[in-house]
A and B are shown apart, each in its own frame.
Chain A
């Protein structure tokens, strides 16, 4: 075991897969010689060569399209889109092509492409370096959508994503790269070295896609969340002295409906939280599932916590971010009358 932040854990996952499988190639803007703007691929080109860790032109559509072609030709490309905010030029290739090649060719062709992309705010990124577009991708049939919240999960899930024969869009909440952030930007940053999830096995291991993790067991209320909001939710529940069960989904597609519903049936109360905008957000899907599956067990209307339905504003980042205050309000609402 070693102390790793999320960047180091992701780097370790790619290092292991490049070493284990000759068909794995990395590609993306600034990822080769330089090692990536967030350093996720640092040292990998030096170790595995320029043919396996490719710097690319600044053309996300071209990156995704050529990754598809490589995948069809037997490689296992891991493409980095430098910020999730930049993924849209590649959107058509992801939605219309990558997601459907297996389907439209009835299994004759497929492209096992993993797209890694840093998402979320809290780093003073303004409206073009802070978005959480995962919900847009969960609406597309044929791609898996993953978002880890800590180094241990990031590594195990990325290894599984790379080995998976289906396309995976792998969102990395960049505010969590260096430590478990509880939503309070004024507190000193907490590094991963102080957190058990920052203890990472240096070797190969994988975590199945589609399995949520109960990060805190509890009896009074279920909080269903993922990504940046996991530690915010834990902190908010603790601040209110609630015995909350906090579920980190980790995988949005496939979705672990059983873990969610088992918990809600037990607690009878549910808050859904994500950083992405609220309207038509992924939270609406979870809310709908809980309502359909657990209606007769619910003691109170399900609450939803999300970013406001505006672009992510540079100067008002912390008024925008769904921090502890917003989670507490939702928890109090769902606990009313308890």
Chain B
């Protein structure tokens, strides 16, 4: 047969009407992957980029060298904040459907990524999130009402009505402003970390990106600069398999893991079960210790699944198999941590149900408070004059004139 060049076109294993198939996801057994010394050289860590670090086995037991041995209270804190993230998401999704907010993005199935990683970092560490990291905000203790005010663009909106819903920030919480443009935060986090090193400070930076947007040049700039300057930064690729309708194969995931981009730049790359709270925590803690002890940056690929639509403007039934998240081999992060806590006799169905009710009430009360500061359609509204502020530190004459023109226009 004549050999000839060919164009390879990545295809997801299942489209609508086909049976879900996740056989392409390489899994290591729980507890099977070696935990190297935190000061190991990146060149000796290649195996971490192809294996999958897992701690929780199918029975909910924590096994192997990555077991972080967290106190039950810490595990319960994690469970609480993952559950709160999910309940918050669910309520905001319904709120969007009811026309109260213009747009929303859920993190269903990915809650362990943000919550466990946030817990493994210190409050002084700077976070550069993507748009599906609300768990970071929630685990860092940002008040739900503040998040809701942003979603509503109301009079208490931290962004003063300038940003699409979910593009939060928290100066006090050390959470950087979410851009809405993809991947731009990744090399910015590296710069922040470089500055920390220049100033001789102990803080590190962490950033999150989807596997889809790892295709952007910014991703490569981040890895390059992180490697060159050995910046104290943790770069996280949340591989949830889908970028809207685009399968991860189109970001280059078919040929090698995303974690394997790390060793290519001389950075430790580590692939972890993103739905395993304990594994995510342990890997992040390991990377943080590396960063803080001068061993340099780490690229973490969190293997997870986007169980919901990309956003409220998206309908995954048009491009992927129905109910495929039910077949996802790494399960659900909340269910798995809950099972683990039950195994430890530190949790029960009753406590879970009571916690759910408590958190639902918290979300409901927060919403009730948020709407008193205005909604898109009712109640107090931000002064439109605000649109001219913060373009520059001091308003130039040209913008003062335009503000006056706008006022005249409104009569």
Check A59 against B224 for contact (C-beta < 8 Å): yes
Minimum CB–CB distance for A5 against chain B, Å: 31
A57 surroundings in chain B (CB, below 8 A): 224-225, 228
A interface footprint on B204-233 (CB within 8 Å = 1, 0 otherwise): 010000000000011001101100100000
Which of B160, B177, B187, B389 is close to A69, meaning CB atoms less than 8 Å apart? Answer: B187
Check A67 against B179 for contact (C-beta < 8 Å): no
CA distance A60 to B6 in the complex (A): 34
Q: Known contacts A65-B188, A254-B396; decide if A106 and B195 are in contact (CB<8 Å).
A: no
Check B167 against A69 for contact (C-beta < 8 Å): no
Minimum CB–CB distance for A95 against chain B, Å: 10
B390 at the interface (CB under 8 A from A): yes
Check B158 against A106 for contact (C-beta < 8 Å): yes
Within 8 A of A (CB), among B143-188: 158-160, 162-163, 167, 169-171, 176-177, 179, 181, 184, 186-188
Which of B167, B189, B396 is close to A104, meaning CB atoms less than 8 Å apart? Answer: B167
Q: Known contacts A65-B187, A69-B189; decide if A108 and B171 are in contact (CB<8 Å).
A: yes
Q: Which of A71-79, A184-192, A261-269, A313-321 contacts B (4 or more CB under 8 A)?
A: A71-79
Minimum CB–CB distance for A224 against chain B, Å: 16
Which of A73, A210, A257 is close to B195, meaning CB atoms less than 8 Å apart? Answer: A73
A194 surroundings in chain B (CB, below 8 A): none
CA distance A222 to B117 in the complex (A): 62
Check B398 against A92 for contact (C-beta < 8 Å): no
Q: How many residues of A contact B (CB 8 A)?
A: 44
Check B190 against A92 for contact (C-beta < 8 Å): no
A66 surroundings in chain B (CB, below 8 A): 187-188, 190-191, 194, 221, 225
Minimum CB–CB distance for B188 against chain A, Å: 4
CA distance A52 to B396 in the complex (A): 32
Check A108 against B190 for contact (C-beta < 8 Å): no
B199 surroundings in chain A (CB, below 8 A): 73-75
A interface footprint on B382-399 (CB within 8 Å = 1, 0 otherwise): 000000011111001110
A73 surroundings in chain B (CB, below 8 A): 126, 191-192, 195-196, 199
Minimum CB–CB distance for B189 against chain A, Å: 6
CA distance A70 to B195 in the complex (A): 5
Check A104 against B177 for contact (C-beta < 8 Å): yes
A56 surroundings in chain B (CB, below 8 A): 225, 228
Which of A25, A106, A255, A257 is close to B198, meaning CB atoms less than 8 Å apart? Answer: A25
- Chain A residue nearest in CB terms to B228: A57
B193 at the interface (CB under 8 A from A): yes
B interface footprint on A60-104 (CB within 8 Å = 1, 0 otherwise): 011001111111111100000000000001001100110001111
A203 at the interface (CB under 8 A from B): no
Minimum CB–CB distance for B26 against chain A, Å: 31
B228 surroundings in chain A (CB, below 8 A): 56-57
Which of A59, A75, A106, A164 is close to B390, meaning CB atoms less than 8 Å apart? Answer: A106
Minimum CB–CB distance for A91 against chain B, Å: 11
Check A65 against B184 for contact (C-beta < 8 Å): yes
B188 surroundings in chain A (CB, below 8 A): 65-66, 68-69, 72, 97
Given contacts A66-B190, A104-B177, 7 further A-B contacts (CB under 8 A): A66-B221, A69-B187, A69-B192, A106-B159, A106-B390, A108-B158, A141-B391
